Amino acid sequence: MYSQLHQRSILITLRFKAEISNCDSSNLHMFKVLVIRFSSIGDIVLTSPVVRALKQQKAAKVHFVCKAGFSKLMSSNPNVDKVWPWQDGNKKTLLDELKAEKFDLIVDLHKNIRSLIIRNRLRVKAITFNKLNLEKWLIVNLKWDKLPQIHLVDRYFNALSEIGIENDDQGLDYFIPGETSSIDQLLPETIQTQQYICLAIGAAHRTKQIPIEKLSEILEQFQTSILLLGGKSELELAQNIENLKFKHVHNLVGKTSLHESARLIQFSKLLITPDTGMMHIGAALKIPIVSIWGNTIPSFGMYPYYPIGATKFKNIEVNNLNCRPCSKIGKNQCPKGHFDCMKKISSLAIKSAADQLNKN
């Protein structure tokens, strides 16, 4: 005979499995999931296939917790029922409120100290994923490449397979709110829709950012109208580009919100971007992308992610550079001082990639 405690444990396990397997809109108890990804723009966009799968395949009530500054990324997503903005100052209150929600499952797609605090406070079943920290350390520090050839999104779904969630292969989502300015209000008067290229000049880390001399080389390769996109932290760089007096270049840096920048990307013919959040927004909007890689590498598994059979991007990078990658995320300056990972990028290769993508 099992002890009463053992019997109770078995009943709880069976109940959880039944809710996972059979949850639909007819159930009295709506299956409720908390997805955790605190930051940043691109990383949150990369969680969108998981959110969609939970909503569509399990009819789950999906809640999402992220840093307050990024909550707008998910607030317009119809697959998210509620967004919880995380701020260190409201941590205790937020944890109490999350506890009161009585979630059935936590899907931790950040896997750091903050997410561990939430998991420990809520004490419900949690699913995490393989962050490949060891493999990343080996290639950054020893240049031993043990990285699996798998995208981050697919690593998420490998972890979710234990509850029967499958990748629908429909790529990323990015939902632009209806109140966002129309494309006609955002575009310079001389530009027609679908006749321009977007160039994202910003990046969270300097070693991911395209330097001014390389940007100048790239701009010289094109005659098509180019819109410069970025945030207020890129205002000085944008002004330096503007000072180059390219007639086909239009500076919109710091003049549009994130959603407005997404609207411009949505109606563009091509996006040129470093490894940054704009790259993932462009992929979510199914726009052709030329992605330019500095100190980070596509093998980390965060290159543009499209629906199956609809891949339309080209990665441009300096291969066989023995100091690359120097970090798994980025640095404020090149540790070697030469910044060859960006300075040796071929502007001709970028133009050739753009031409190939536009032909397809």
Give me the phi and psi of 282, to 5 degrees please: -60, -40
Nearest to 297 by CA among 322, 320, 317, 279: 317
- Name the strands in the sheet holding 313-316, side by side, starting at the edge strand that comes first in the sequence: 249-251, 225-229, 196-200, 270-274, 289-292, 313-316
pLDDT at 28: 45
User: Which range among 44-58, 147-161, 192-206, 223-237 shows the weakest confidence by mean pLDDT?
Assistant: 192-206
User: Which range among 28-32, 150-154, 208-212 shows the weakest confidence by mean pLDDT?
Assistant: 28-32
pLDDT at 2: 38
Give me the sign of the Cα torsion angle 199, 201, 204, 206. positive
Give the pLDDT mean for 92-110: 96
Q: Residue 105: pLDDT above 90?
A: yes
Give the pLDDT mean for 6-16: 42
Summarised one tens digit per residue, pLDDT across range 293-329 is 999 999 999 999 999 988 899 999 999 999 999 999 9
Give the pLDDT mean for 318-343: 95
Instruction: Please give the structure tokens belonging to residue 27.
Output: 């159930």
Q: What is the DSSP code string of 43-59?
A: HHHTTHHHHHHHHHHH-
pLDDT at 29: 61
pLDDT at 14: 44
Q: Residue 6: pLDDT above 60?
A: no
Q: Residue 24: pLDDT above 70?
A: no
- 177 band by pLDDT with thresholds 50, 70 and 90: very high
Residues of the chain with CATH 3.40.50.2000: 4-163, 183-359
Q: Residue 66: pLDDT above 80?
A: yes
Average pLDDT of the residues of the chain:
91
CA dihedral 164, 154, 62, 309 (to 10 degrees): -100
Contact 202, 230 (CB under 8 A): yes
User: Which range among 28-32, 180-184, 214-218, 354-358 shows the weakest confidence by mean pLDDT?
Assistant: 28-32
pLDDT at 311: 83
Given the candidates 2.10.10.90, 3.30.2130.30, 3.40.50.2000, 3.40.30.10, the CATH classification of the domain at 183-359 is 3.40.50.2000
Residues paired with 62 in a beta bridge: 33
Amino acid identity, residue 308?
I
Give the pLDDT mean for 215-228: 96
Helix (H, G, I), strand (E, B) or coil at 126: strand
Residues paired with 64 in a beta bridge: 35, 83
Q: Alpha-carbon distance 209 to 294, whole Å?
A: 7
pLDDT at 7: 45
Nearest to 299 by CA among 279, 280, 324: 324
Q: Alpha-carbon distance 203 to 186, whole Å?
A: 22
Contact 103, 19 (CB under 8 A): no
Give me the phi and psi of 275, to 5 degrees please: -70, 90
pTM for the whole structure? 0.90
**How crowded is the C-beta side of 192, counted as CA atoms within 13 Å?**
2
Summarised one tens digit per residue, pLDDT across range 130-174 is 999 999 999 999 999 999 999 999 999 999 999 999 999 999 999
CATH topology assigned to domain 4-163: Rossmann fold (3.40.50)
